[in-house]
Amino acid sequence: MAGTGVVTGEVSVTRAEVCAVACAEMFRGDGEIVAAAVAGMTPALGARLARATFEPGLLTTDGGPHLTAEPVPLGAPAGEIEGWLPFREHLWLVLNGRRHVWLGPSQIDAFGNCNISHIGEADRPKSQLLGSRGAPGNTRLNPTSFWIPRHSPRVFVEKVDYVSGVGTDRGAFQLRGVVTNLAVLDFATPEGRMRLRSVHPGVTVPEVVEATGFPLTLPDEVPETRLPTPEELHLIRTTLDPKALRDREVRP
């Protein structure tokens, strides 16, 4: 279930920690680009973890206009600064392309079209959300990943009410993948449809299928999402998120 941890040897690993590592993995191979991981605490932690381990070239922010000299702990001040990235520079950088962004959609469909704008009709929505923010440009021009802390059929829908971010069938640049509290998914099928890549330890494939509101492409063998290494676990717990803010998004 969503909240259970797993025990490996003597160490208990929480679901939030598995999610943070899965987010970090999305940056593998990105090199020297900006990790725009503002869609939640878990992707921000993942970006800083990737930078502290296997992607040292990544540029990460303090959540504000500063590129920090080192990956800083969640919620901590920037410390030493290596660059300036006010909103206008972020928006130009979208066009430049050296940026990998995370979105936190309220709805997403099988092709990765996503909605952060409103639920219901455009003229008089049932629920007005944020508005499209930078999702249209981000998905058209930058590698994009998605963070969904509660995997459910309300989020994974046949058809989104408004296409804020474009899917693989609408000209997306590159949808890297989706990390949820249950699983990792990607779009690595010939038609660009969503596919189950791995389930987190303790989650079953039928559970994910049931929590997804459209038919999911299933490989013959669905592996488990990898566990944090001892080094990663140590970094998460003692350095990058000592206050365990990650547990606010994914319950332990």
Partner 1 sequence: MGRLMTVEEIVGSVESGMTLGIGGWGSRRKPMALVRALCNTPVRDLTVISYGGADVGLLCAAGKIRKLVAPFATLDSVALEPHFRQARQNGAIEFEEYDEGMFMFGLYAAAHGLPFLPTPAGLGSDVQMKNPALKTVTDPYGGEELIAVPALRMDVAFVHLQRADARGNALYLGGDPYFDDLYTKAADRAYVSCEKLVDTGDLLKEGPVQALLVSRAQVAGVVETPNGSHFTTGDDDRRDEAFQRHYVEAAATPEGWAAFRARFLDGDEAAYQAAVRTWRDEQ
Among 4, 12, 128, 238, binds partner 1 (CB under 8 A): 128
CA–CA gap between residue 204 and residue 198 (Å, rounded): 10
Select 23 or 114, whichever has its Cβ closest to partner 1: 114
Select 18 or 129, whichever has its Cβ closest to partner 1: 129
Answer yes or no whether residue 126 interacts with partner 1 by CB under 8 A: yes
Among 51, 99, 100, 118, binds partner 1 (CB under 8 A): 118
CA–CA gap between residue 63 and residue 57 (Å, rounded): 18
Answer yes or no whether residue 192 interacts with partner 1 by CB under 8 A: no
Q: What is the amino acid identity at position 96?
A: N
Kindly state the smallest distance separating residue 170's Cβ from partner 1, in Å.
Answer: 4
CA–CA gap between residue 5 and residue 18 (Å, rounded): 9
DSSP characters over 134-200: THHHHHHHSEEEEEESS--TTTB-SS-SS-SB--GGGT-SEEEEEEESSEEEE--STT---EEEEE-
Q: What is the amino acid identity at position 24?
A: A
Helix H or strand E encompassing 45: helix 41-52
Answer yes or no whether residue 182 interacts with partner 1 by CB under 8 A: no
- Binding window for partner 1 (CB under 8 A); candidates: 52-60, 118-126, 174-182, 238-246: 118-126
Kindly state the smallest distance separating residue 144's Cβ from partner 1, in Å.
Answer: 12
- Binding window for partner 1 (CB under 8 A); candidates: 50-58, 117-125, 225-233, 236-244: 117-125
Exposure string for 98-117, b = 16+ CB within 10 A, e = fewer: ebbbbbbbbbbbbbbbbbbb
Select 50 or 157, whichever has its Cβ closest to partner 1: 157
In Å, how far are 1, 131, 184, 217 from 27, measured between CA atoms? Answer: 27, 27, 14, 23
Q: How many chain residues interact with partner 1 (CB under 8 A)?
A: 39
Answer yes or no whether residue 220 interacts with partner 1 by CB under 8 A: no
Q: Which of residues 61-100 bind partner 1 (CB under 8 A)?
A: 64-66, 84, 86-88, 91-92, 94-95
Kindly state the smallest distance separating residue 230's Cβ from partner 1, in Å.
Answer: 35
Select 169 or 207, whichever has its Cβ closest to partner 1: 169
Among 13, 24, 129, 208, binds partner 1 (CB under 8 A): 129
CA–CA gap between residue 141 and residue 122 (Å, rounded): 25
- Non-local (6+) Cβ contacts of 203 within 8 A are 1, 182, 183
Answer yes or no whether residue 125 interacts with partner 1 by CB under 8 A: yes
Residues making contact with partner 1 (CB under 8 A):
64-66, 84, 86-88, 91-92, 94-95, 117-118, 122-137, 139-141, 162-166, 170-171
